[in-house]
Amino acid sequence: MKIIGYDLSRYSVGRFLTTRNRSSLRSMTGKNTGVLQSVERAMRVLDHVAAAGGPVAAREVARDLGLTLPTTYHLLTTLVTGGYLVHLPEQRAYALGHRLDDLARALHRQIAVPPGVCRVAAVVHREAHAAAYYASLRNAEMIVAHVDECPEHPRIRTLGVGFHEAPHATAFGKLMLATLEPADREAVLDRTGTPAVTAATVTDRDQLQEQLHRVRGTGLAVEVNEFQPELSCMAAPVNDAAGRFVGAVAVSLPTARMRADRWSVERVVRLGAVRASRAVALETATRTGRLRNG
């Protein structure tokens, strides 16, 4: 089995941001929203270089983002100085810098998963014969915090540690949305949008609400071909000792297998979520005891 490390190419939200989302973010800059236009532009440049998949020229960045060339050079130079990008003179292009790896490692430390949960994911992987995930709730986002896979049962490529996008299209994201109060849920969906990741993605708010109602009723979320064609995911909630939703145990597997082995996979996922809940509660109790003892 292989425990996932880092994949910097996935630190791009470009695939899931709709034109409306981008326009909305741009429209906020310059207003009393706390968004600094220069910082927002630098983030867009960084995201664009990450999404390119390889070195990209300044002129391409300026053209694709609708920026002037002088502004683009200023932003690129700032990002290079900070180590977030590197300049490749021989190619007259820019690529991702070492600081992103530092940030990825720091993120991994901050969303560290209790050892007991990692062991649960390994068992789920083995018994479900599918890639297993633990996603953690963090500030109204579900972040993939741990993945257990093998060559025979690989993860969905973009679902690496740190992934947190498209909650309407992922099983663990649907779980989170189902637990939120209506106003909070609408706020999340207003922020993320409901873009069509695949032809099967549920994008209509009313249809999504019906789906989330079923999730609340069954305590299980399933998506079929919504995030990637011919692949499906299933997720069950992980709760802390007080019964609060804190994360999810999930699996991904070919849709044909999901349909054939639905009930056996569900049994493994539900049991894994119960075990992960116990592991989270134990870790919390242990950490609290250490703090009290000094």
For the chain, the structural domain boundaries read 7-97, 111-293
**Long-range CB contacts (< 8 A, 24+ apart) of 84-87?**
84/46, 85/46, 85/49
CB 149 within 8 A of CB 161: no
Residue type (1 letter), 90: E
pLDDT tens sequence for the chain (294 residues): 333 333 434 433 334 433 334 433 344 344 445 668 889 999 999 999 988 888 999 999 999 999 999 999 999 999 999 999 999 998 999 999 999 888 877 777 776 788 999 999 999 999 999 999 999 998 889 999 999 999 999 999 888 888 999 999 999 999 999 999 999 999 999 999 999 999 999 999 999 999 999 999 999 999 999 999 999 999 999 999 999 999 999 999 999 999 999 999 999 999 999 999 999 999 878 766 655 665
Q: What is the pLDDT of residue 285?
A: 80
Q: What is the pLDDT of residue 38?
A: 87
- Of the candidate CATH numbers 3.30.930.10, 3.40.1280.10, 1.10.150.120, 1.10.10.10, the domain formed by 7-97 belongs to 1.10.10.10
H or E stretch covering 102: helix 98-110
Tokens 């995930």, residue located: 133
**Cα distances (angstroms) measured from residue 41 to each of 34, 76, 78:** 14, 10, 11
Q: What is the pLDDT of residue 34?
A: 64
- Residue 77, Ramachandran bin (φ over 0: left; ψ between -120 and 50: alpha; else beta): alpha
β-pairing, 245-254 vs 221-224, is unpaired
CB 225 within 8 A of CB 194: no
Q: What is the pLDDT of residue 22?
A: 41
Q: What is the pLDDT of residue 6?
A: 37
Q: What is the pLDDT of residue 114?
A: 86
Q: What is the pLDDT of residue 3?
A: 35
SS3 of residue 235 by DSSP: strand
Residue type (1 letter), 46: L
pTM to 2 decimal places: 0.71
E-strand ranges in 126-182 read 131-137, 142-149
Q: What is the pLDDT of residue 12?
A: 38
Regarding the domain delimited by 111-293, which CATH topology (the fold level of the hierarchy) does it fall under? Answer: Beta-Lactamase (3.30.450)
Tokens 């919504």, residue located: 226
Q: What is the pLDDT of residue 131?
A: 97
